[in-house]
Amino acid sequence: MFNKIVIVLFLISMTFSCTSMQAVDIENSQEIVSIGDTVELTTTQGKTYKFTVETLTSKQIGGGGFLISINDVLEVKKENFSGALTTLAIGGGAVVGYIILYAIALATW
C-alpha cells in the first residue's frame, strides 16, 4: 500500500511545471515571439490581453479571439518554462510527500 501511494505521488509531481512571464523588448518582439507562444500584451489604452499566439505579422498579433495592432502594444511579456523552478517544485513536493507518508506509517504502527 505504501509503495502505491509513493508511486501515485511521484506521478502527480511529474505533471507540475513552472512558468513565468518575462518582459520582451518591443523592438525585437517579432524575433522573440512565435506562433504557439503564450504572451501577455498591454496596450496603449491600458488593457491587458493574455493568449496563445495564433497569428503574427509585422502589423498585428492575434490569438484567443483577439487581433491587436502592433502599434497599439505598449508592453509584451512572454511565458517561459523554468526548469530550475520545476525541479524545485517536484523535489520539494516529493520531500513533503515522503514526510507525510512517513508520519502516517509511524502513526499506524
Please give the order of strands across the beta sheet that includes 38-43.
Answer: 19-24, 73-81, 38-43, 48-52
Distance of CA 62 to the CA centre of its chain: 19
The reported pLDDT for the residue numbered 68 is: 93
Higher pLDDT, 31 or 77: 77
The reported pLDDT for the residue numbered 57 is: 87
This prediction's pTM: 0.55
Higher pLDDT, 27 or 73: 73
d(CA 44, CA 26): 13
